[in-house]
């Protein structure tokens, strides 16, 4: 059985409604330090809603969120960032008319007195990209001239510049070429080696099975399954997505114990 780790993130009995629509119902979620977790389900499963609750973009109706075992009540993404949680949205939220370095440090360009310290900003940008092992022609290059894969790398570099402990990626490979997807998965693996935990919201199970440690399934806002990647397959996960129910949901450790019995 995999070594038990003290959870970095715990979400307990999370409920969130938008008017008459119950988006999340008693959802439980855990993330270990340095773990890559795939969060999957159909389009109405509640994946993005759960992560927006974690980051403070949405406020939960009921339930508890703990970081390092300590209760938290994030009211905005700025507050979750202070605890080391970053989310990269599908649209990347980049400024195309600005260059790579300006985007990485957008809103917090280093200053020397009243002026932007451009030399430091570009040096720091190169250092962040080097940490990710991402090659670009120049940090002076305009983002609008980059491919989708390179823009994704800039978005990740911006998140990493905050030295996060957790990075959440929303459909990170949805619009990427095969080659760009391979580079992104390599970047995820590199972040894992550096101890950064990651949550991948994705419909592409192949990508999650390539780099993930564990996979969690939501259906209609409820937990329906949780498995270790090493002890499941895409067929079982697809069955959970299509026909899983909260009544039959078991944790990864329970599934592993059942297999060993």
Q: Which residue has the tokens 């440090």?
A: 105
Nearby residues of 91 by Cβ (< 8 Å), 6 or more positions away:
none
Nearby residues of 4 by Cβ (< 8 Å), 6 or more positions away:
none
Q: Could you tell me which of 39, 36, 32, 35 has the C-alpha nearest to residue 53?
A: 39
Q: Which residue has the tokens 């990864």?
A: 252
User: What pLDDT does 4 receive?
Assistant: 54
DSSP structure class, residue 99: B
**Contact present, 244 and 217 (Cβ < 8 Å):** yes
**Contact present, 207 and 173 (Cβ < 8 Å):** yes
- Provide the residue-wise pLDDT of the chain in tens; the chain has 261 residues: 445 567 999 999 999 999 999 999 999 999 999 999 999 999 999 999 999 999 999 999 999 999 999 999 999 999 999 999 999 988 888 999 999 999 999 988 888 888 989 999 999 999 999 999 888 889 999 999 998 889 999 999 999 999 999 999 999 988 788 988 998 999 999 999 999 999 999 999 999 999 999 999 999 999 999 999 999 999 999 999 999 898 778 788 887 776 776
Q: Could you tell me which of 190, 194, 198 has the C-alpha nearest to residue 214?
A: 198
Q: Name 16's bridge partners.
A: 24
CA dihedral 177, 94, 153, 204 (to 10 degrees): -50
**Contact present, 46 and 53 (Cβ < 8 Å):** no
Q: And the tokens for 42?
A: 């159909």
Integer-rounded Cα radius of gyration of the chain:
19
Q: Which residue has the tokens 């009243």?
A: 114
- Domains of the chain by start residue, with CATH: 9-84+165-260 (3.40.50.300), 98-162 (no CATH)
Q: Could you tell me which of 46, 49, 41 has the C-alpha nearest to residue 225?
A: 41
């Amino acid at each position: 059985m995999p070594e038990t780790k003290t959870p970095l993130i715990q979400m307990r009995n999370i409920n969130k409604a938008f008017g008459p629509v119950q988006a999340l119902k008693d959802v439980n979620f855990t993330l270990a330090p340095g773990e890559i977790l795939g969060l999957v389900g159909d389009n109405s499963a509640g994946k993005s809603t759960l992560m927006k609750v974690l980051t403070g973009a949405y406020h939960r109706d009921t339930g508890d969120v703990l970081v390092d075992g300590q209760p938290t009540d994030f009211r905005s993404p700025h507050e979750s960032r202070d605890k080391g949680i970053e989310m990269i949205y599908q649209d990347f939220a980049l400024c195309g008319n600005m260059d790579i370095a300006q985007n990485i440090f957008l809103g917090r360009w280093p200053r020397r007195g009243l002026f932007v310290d451009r030399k430091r900003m570009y040096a720091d940008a190169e250092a962040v990209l080097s940490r990710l092992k991402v090659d670009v022609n120049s940090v002076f290059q305009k983002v609008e001239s980059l491919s989708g894969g390179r823009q994704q790398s800039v978005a990740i570099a911006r998140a990493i510049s905050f030295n996060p402990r957790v990075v959440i990626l929303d459909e990170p490979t949805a619009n990427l070429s095969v080659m760009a997807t391979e580079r992104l998965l390599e970047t995820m693996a590199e972040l894992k080696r550096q101890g950064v935990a990651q949550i991948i919201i994705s419909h592409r199970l192949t990508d999650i099975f390539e780099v993930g440690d564990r996979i969690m399934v939501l259906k209609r806002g409820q937990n329906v399954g949780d498995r270790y990647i090493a002890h499941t397959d895409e067929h079982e996960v697809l069955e959970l997505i299509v026909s899983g129910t909260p009544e039959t949901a078991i944790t990864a450790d329970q599934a592993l114990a059942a297999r060993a019995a």
